[in-house]
Amino acid sequence: MKKAGKLGKVVSPYFSQSNSKRVTRSCRKSATLSAKVCGQAMTGNVVEAECTISDPANGINTEGGIGAGTGAAKNTSKRKHVSIKYEKTETLNQGQKTQLKEESNSTKWEPENWRGHLNNIREMRKKKDAPVDVMGCDKLQDDDADPKVRRYQVLISLMLSSQTKDQVTSAAMMKLRTHGLNIPNILQTSDSKIGDLIYPVGFWKKKITFIKNATRILKEQYDSDIPPTVEELVKLPGVGPKMAHIVMDVAWGQLTGIGVDTHVHRICNRLKWVKKPTTQPEDTRKAVEDWLPRDKWREINVLMVGFGQQICLPVGPKCHDCLNQNICPHGRTVKLKKSPKKKTKTS
Ligand code: SF4
């Protein structure tokens, strides 16, 4: 018996193939060797292995070795040693690392067809002509204002937008900006005047108090700026997690989470983008962030809000006009309900 040669190639009458599995099968330490061979191939480390093999030419048969189970007489008295050396190989390139990473993530739960859903929604939204595209909260602030004032206006527009149509929020913001939407001026403005300016946004009476109290806190605790973290933003009166994540993105340019409002919440449940049905937008946000690649987070809010305003309506979604109908769990049920049953003729 001769020693092993280069990578996986064993120069021996019994190991004529350049094949690590072949070597493994013939070794008593097969499990260890197999793992090391794989390890070597993946990491590029040099592996040396020794194993005891048999010599069939002399009628020797090892446990589990070549010829095992063939009826050859068992005789371990003439076992020989072979030393197998594996050459160092290249370290993993970027593509191999990515492949490995994807393979290791492949067991992570993700919704069926989510890439198809997303591409179809992008296609249906490519005109960008939904109310959110022209009157969304990222469009209502004065971009020429002082940065602190601009950030304050982003926060106020988000506070006004909850439970309110984009058109109504936009009109209120224009009136506030004309009046002077900055911290000193709002603190000097009477509650009734603010009410006049923001009516008829949803919960406008409550929002007068929220705006006044939050503005006071910003002046006293944040040097007339807005807080730079989600944790601090949600402590302000009338500010929830959805608003906070969108404020972080629009005002501070930081992606901290997906802004999940009622549209995003509803559509994610209809498409089964959540492992289990959720009842609260905040639960939906956590469930979707758990699997959706982070580079997709930023687009989700505006994409789905507009989709919810135009096609996937809260009541009576337009499934028959939707590209997702055949791959949407909710749309498929609508299709089934609408399909007329074939009548069988009875003679
Ligand atoms: S098929 Fe219907 S429920 Fe599903 S995404 Fe489209 S509009 Fe919404």
| pLDDT score of 254 | 97
Mutation choice for ligand 1 from 123, 269, 325, CB with most ligand atoms inside 8 A: 325
Give the C-alpha separation, 74 to 61, whole Å: 5
Lowest-confidence range among 82-86, 274-278, 309-313?
82-86
Mean pLDDT, range 133-158, rounded to an integer: 96
Indicate which residues carry an active-site annotation.
Answer: 242
How many angstroms is it from 118 CA to the middle of ligand 1? 12
Average pLDDT over residues 28-38: 38
More confident residue, 65 or 225: 225
DSSP conformation letters of 325-341? GGG-HHHHHHHHHHSPP
Q: What is the pLDDT of residue 15?
A: 38
- What's the pLDDT at 302? 97
Instruction: Give tens-digit pLDDT for 200-244.
Output: 999 999 999 999 999 999 999 999 999 999 999 999 999 999 999
The pLDDT tens digits for 182-200 are 999 999 999 999 999 999 9
Please indicate whether residue 254 or residue 344 has the higher confidence score (pLDDT).
Answer: 254
Please give the distance, rounded to the nearest whole angstrom, from the Cα atom of residue 323 to the centre of ligand 1. Answer: 8
Query: In whole angstroms, what is the distance from residue 57 CA to residue 287 CA?
Result: 63
Pocket of ligand 1 (CB under 6 A): 270-271, 311-312, 317-319, 322, 324-325, 328, 330-331
d(CA 234, CA 227): 9
Is 50 exceeded by the pLDDT of residue 316? Answer: yes
What atom of ligand 1 comes closest to residue 329's alpha carbon?
A: 4
Strands 47-53 and 80-86: antiparallel
Question: What pLDDT is recorded for position 19?
Answer: 38
Question: Measured in angstroms, how far is the CA atom of residue 140 from the centroid of ligand 1?
Answer: 29
